[in-house]
């Protein structure tokens, strides 16, 4: 709804037939609610440059919590005028107001003329506004009007108890939220970080090198904040806000809480290098923000000045940093540790899991049974010849090459799991075999001869050293 | 006559140099030193050691020897083992099997398995890994121009600074030069008879030939994994006759110069 439409007498929620009565040439389109919501959310993300805490109320309405962010932009006026320009450039119209409480800001933006209510002035600023400015359900504000209570200010001095009795608790809650006596929790678009550091740049930057050079002091800042509270973070995010309202976000994870500025910088640098073609600075980035998430306690410790080798803590820390560097560059799924399941099935007994996920106490090793060093993800069928149906093979052919078996151990029988959710199929008889050259393989015969099958098949599953 | 005398004195000088280098090399005890050896040859810390497989089917065997050495190295102190390979060949070559590591005394909890997309990423990961106090297993079976003298020298320098060992596992056909401290050619050797089962397999055995060593030695040994003591032992040359055909002089002679 723009101003021109309103002037013609259109309003939101109007029936199409009524609207056509006013203007017969009206062209009607169906709104794509989802698309609209998505676009608004994207706009909201771009507006996170002002503050990491943004809460979308409905499509077309959002709160920005700029507490503590004024200095970065040079005051509330500067933020508001920057916001106005930005929204206009994006091709939208807007109304905005800044006040101590979300409720007061909403009231001023919807019904007021004042754009910035100074600290503590919101009380008087909204007094003359109509009661609708309190975000009340329509029937409630109608009843207030019928009783002659037309402005917000008239409610200030009313006794609380009768008000609650007649108009339910909603009225007092809304009034309190506007005045700041009732809490109003805002649900942010993305979780709000407790720690962050940002740089607003007068001149947009575009090269990776410049971004990196700004990154270092930001990491340092956030590291200092974390150190002050003896905390570390397991996740960091770098948000690069482009001039044209696009946001690039890079995330790094750490296996253990960290707050070492050099380490954080290095992880982000690796990620930036890895972007390559995906790195698109457009017309440049004008704001950079590093935020810390997943905050954990991390004791402040004096580093040993000498003899780093003997310091096992330092060694462990170095290993954790190495894990982080590898995981962030190659992807967490490519830097793994081994975990174990309590199962007899060889291909299920051991699995890989990202090294950044903490080990669970149930991860007990399989013991010292003879197991191959490498396993084929899928057993490969071989042509094998055994002396007796129940015995080890004496010859087999794998990948079109024939092997003569010199020695063999077995069988080790691995049966289908009786708890069996996953079916392993028929029983397997595993043999360790050694060829004449000394190559050692793990082969199995599938199916019990004479019971489960008459012509058992053979498979090669693994390689011994 | 004159020429012979000159050659003799030259040989003497060479021996003295080798002697000095060796003494200097042995004279710096690195902190937390462990005397890992492959046969009689010490595998120094802070160095790249290269193990080559003559046949692609011997890759698991070479890997096993590296694991046995890793297990022996981590027997005295907990040593992180960083295992780096390429993702590509999982279905062909198989994947590292967690259940098979305990056999060589390798602690699963200390292993990190790194998979990289390409040779460049593999080398990057190896360089990062070798700078930490750890043992790095680098599987690099497919020859690639990126793994050249410069790359191996960088790994070697990284290892020297941290005191880590890097075992570079590659194909013998990969003739590229390398800055590795020692270079081995490894093949499987038939195992001895299992005392409990006359047809059964004994402990794993390797036929390891030292092709290059900075200290000048060469030799060829049959090594066996001593599971009880968790270490590699030399076995008597078995009946098939592992002749040190490529060795121009036995390693013992080189070591006994001093």
- pLDDT tens-digit series, residues A124-154: 888 889 988 988 888 888 888 888 888 888 8
Contact B99, A338 (CB under 8 A): no
pLDDT for res B10 = 73
Contact between B188 and A339 using a beta-carbon 8 Å cutoff: no
A310 contact B CB<8A: yes
Pick among B46, B83, B108 to test the A interface (most A CBs inside 10 A)? B108
- Helices A261-275 and A312-330 pack at an angle, to 10 degrees, of 20
Chain B: give the shortest CA distance to residue A409, in Å: 5
User: Rounded CA gap, B175 and B170, in Å?
Assistant: 10
Chain B: give the shortest CA distance to residue A269, in Å: 14
- pLDDT tens-digit series, residues A57-92: 888 889 999 888 887 888 888 999 989 998 988 888
331-360 in chain A: CB under 8 A from chain B: 334-340, 346, 349-352, 355, 359
Selecting from A329, A363, A407 the residue whose C-beta is nearest the C-beta of B191 gives A407
Least confident of A71-80, B165-174, B235-244: B235-244
Find the residue in B nearest to A315 (Cα).
B133
Contact B243, B219 (CB under 8 A): no
Phi-psi region of A245 (alpha: psi -120 to 50; beta: other; left: phi over 0): left
**Residue A186 — very low, low, confident or very high, per pLDDT cuts 50/70/90?**
confident
Contact A377, A346 (CB under 8 A): no
Higher-confidence residue of A449 and B44: namely: B44
386-425 in chain A: CB under 8 A from chain B: 392, 406-409
C-alpha neighbours within 13 Å on the C-beta side of residue A365: 20
**Residue B247 — very low, low, confident or very high, per pLDDT cuts 50/70/90?**
very low
Most confident of A217-226, A295-304, A307-316, A343-352: A217-226
User: Rounded CA gap, B7 and A458, in Å?
Assistant: 63
Higher-confidence residue of B154 and A339: namely: B154
pLDDT exceeds 70 at position A303: no
User: Rounded CA gap, A62 and A40, in Å?
Assistant: 9
pLDDT for res B83 = 94
Contact between A318 and B132 using a beta-carbon 8 Å cutoff: yes
Chain A: give the shortest CA distance to residue B154, in Å: 18
The two three-digit tokens of residue A150, written as one number: 């037309």
Dihedral (C-alpha) A342, A345, A350, A353: value to the nearest 10 degrees?
Answer: -90
Q: Model's pTM, two decimal places? A: 0.69
The SS3 call for residue A167 is: helix
233-292 in chain A: CB under 8 A from chain B: none
What CATH architecture does domain B33-255 belong to? 3-Layer(aba) Sandwich (3.40)
pLDDT exceeds 50 at position B256: no
Least confident of A30-34, A107-111, A356-360, A418-422: A418-422
The mean pLDDT value for A230-254 works out to 89
Q: Using an 8 Å CB-CB cutoff, list chain A residues near B194.
A: 407, 409
Find the residue in B nearest to A326 (Cα).
B125
Query: Where in chain B are the domains?
Result: 33-255
User: Rounded CA gap, A32 and A16, in Å?
Assistant: 17
Least confident of A174-178, A352-356, B250-254: B250-254
**Residue A305 — very low, low, confident or very high, per pLDDT cuts 50/70/90?**
very low
The mean pLDDT value for A168-187 works out to 87
pLDDT exceeds 70 at position A306: no
**Which structural domains are found in chain A, ordered by start?**
3-179 (no CATH), 195-301 (3.30.1490.100), 374-463 (no CATH)
Least confident of A402-406, A437-441, B245-249: B245-249
The percent of residues above 90 in pLDDT, for chain A, comes to: 23
pLDDT for res B182 = 92
The two three-digit tokens of residue A260, written as one number: 């070492």
Among residues B33, B31, B42, the alpha carbon closest in space to that of B181 is found at B42
Q: Using an 8 Å CB-CB cutoff, list chain B residues near A315.
A: 133
**Residue A359 — very low, low, confident or very high, per pLDDT cuts 50/70/90?**
low
- pLDDT tens-digit series, residues B176-198: 788 999 999 999 999 887 777 77
Cα distances (Å, whole numbers) of residue B156 to A28, A116, A280, B134:
73, 64, 37, 14
pLDDT exceeds 90 at position B238: no
Strands B47-53 and B182-189: parallel
For tokens 């280098």, the residue is B21
- pLDDT tens-digit series, residues B61-97: 999 999 999 988 887 778 899 999 987 667 788 889 9
pLDDT exceeds 80 at position A406: yes
Q: Using an 8 Å CB-CB cutoff, list chain A residues near B131.
A: 322
Q: Using an 8 Å CB-CB cutoff, list chain A residues near B125.
A: 326, 329-330
């Amino acid at each position: 709804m723009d101003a021109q439409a309103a002037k013609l007498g259109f309003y939101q929620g109007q029936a199409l037939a009524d609207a056509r009565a006013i203007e017969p040439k009206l062209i009607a389109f169906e709104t794509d609610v989802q698309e609209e919501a998505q676009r608004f959310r994207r706009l909201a993300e771009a507006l996170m440059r002002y503050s990491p805490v943004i809460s979308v109320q409905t499509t077309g309405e959002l709160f920005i919590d700029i507490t503590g962010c004024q200095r970065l932009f040079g005051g509330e006026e500067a933020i508001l005028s920057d916001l106005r320009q930005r929204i206009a450039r994006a091709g939208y119209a807007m109304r905005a107001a800044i006040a101590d409480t979300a409720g007061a800001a909403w009231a001023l933006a919807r019904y007021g003329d004042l754009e910035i209510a100074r600290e503590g002035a919101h009380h008087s600023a909204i007094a003359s506004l109509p009661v609708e400015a309190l975000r009340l359900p329509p029937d409630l504000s109608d009843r207030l009007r019928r009783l002659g209570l037309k402005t917000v200010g008239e409610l200030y001095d009313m006794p609380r108890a009768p008000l609650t009795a007649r108009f339910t608790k909603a009225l007092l809650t809304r009034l309190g939220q506007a005045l700041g006596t009732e809490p109003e929790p805002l649900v942010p678009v993305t979780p709000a970080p407790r720690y962050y550091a940002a740089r607003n740049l007068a001149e947009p930057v575009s090269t990776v090198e410049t971004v990196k050079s700004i990154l270092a002091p930001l990491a340092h800042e956030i590291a200092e904040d974390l150190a002050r509270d003896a905390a570390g973070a397991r996740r960091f995010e770098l948000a690069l806000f482009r001039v044209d309202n696009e946001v690039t976000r890079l995330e790094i994870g750490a296996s253990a809480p960290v707050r070492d500025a050099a380490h954080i910088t290095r992880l982000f640098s690796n990620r930036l290098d890895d972007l390559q073609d995906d790195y698109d600075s457009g017309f440049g980035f004008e704001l950079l923000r590093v935020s810390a998430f997943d905050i954990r306690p991390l004791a402040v410790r004096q580093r040993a000045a000498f003899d780093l080798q003997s310091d096992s803590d330092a060694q462990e820390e170095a290993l954790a940093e190495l894990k982080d560097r590898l995981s962030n560059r190659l992807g967490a799924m490519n830097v793994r540790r081994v975990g174990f399941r309590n199962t007899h099935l060889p291909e299920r007994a051991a699995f890989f899991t990202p090294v950044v996920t903490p080990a669970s106490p149930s991860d007990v090793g399989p013991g010292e049974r003879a197991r191959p060093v490498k396993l084929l993800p899928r057993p490969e069928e071989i042509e094998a010849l055994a002396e007796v149906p129940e015995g080890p093979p004496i010859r087999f052919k794998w990948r079109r090459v024939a092997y003569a078996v010199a020695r063999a151990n077995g069988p080790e029988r691995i049966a289908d799991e009786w708890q069996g959710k996953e079916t392993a199929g028929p029983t397997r008889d595993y043999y360790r075999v050694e060829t004449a050259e000394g190559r050692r393989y793990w082969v199995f015969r599938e199916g019990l001869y004479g019971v489960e099958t008459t012509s058992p098949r053979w498979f090669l599953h693994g390689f011994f050293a | 006559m004159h020429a012979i005398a000159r050659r003799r004195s030259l040989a003497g000088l060479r021996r003295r140099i080798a002697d000095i280098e060796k003494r200097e090399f042995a004279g710096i005890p690195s902190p937390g030193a462990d005397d890992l050896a492959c046969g009689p040859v010490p595998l120094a810390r802070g160095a790249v050691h290269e193990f080559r497989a003559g046949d692609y089917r011997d890759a698991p065997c070479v890997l096993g020897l590296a694991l046995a050495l890793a297990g022996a190295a981590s027997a005295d102190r907990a040593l992180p083992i960083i295992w780096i390979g390429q993702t590509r060949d999982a279905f062909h070559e198989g994947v590292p099997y967690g259940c098979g590591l305990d056999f060589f005394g390798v602690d699963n909890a200390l292993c990190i398995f790194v998979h990289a997309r390409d040779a460049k990423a593999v080398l990057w990961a190896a360089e990062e890994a070798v700078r930490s106090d750890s043992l790095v297993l680098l599987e690099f079976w497919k020859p690639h121009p990126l793994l050249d003298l410069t790359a191996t020298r960088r790994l070697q320098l990284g290892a020297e600074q941290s005191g880590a060992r890097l075992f570079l596992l590659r194909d013998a056909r990969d003739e590229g030069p390398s800055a590795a401290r020692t270079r081995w050619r490894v093949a499987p050797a038939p195992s001895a008879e299992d005392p409990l089962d006359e047809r059964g397999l004994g402990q794993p055995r390797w036929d390891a030939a030292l092709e290059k060593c900075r200290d000048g030695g060469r030799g060829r040994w049959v090594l066996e994994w001593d599971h009880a003591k968790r270490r590699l032992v030399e076995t008597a040359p078995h009946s098939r006759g592992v002749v040190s055909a490529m060795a121009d002089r036995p390693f013992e002679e080189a070591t006994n110069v001093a």
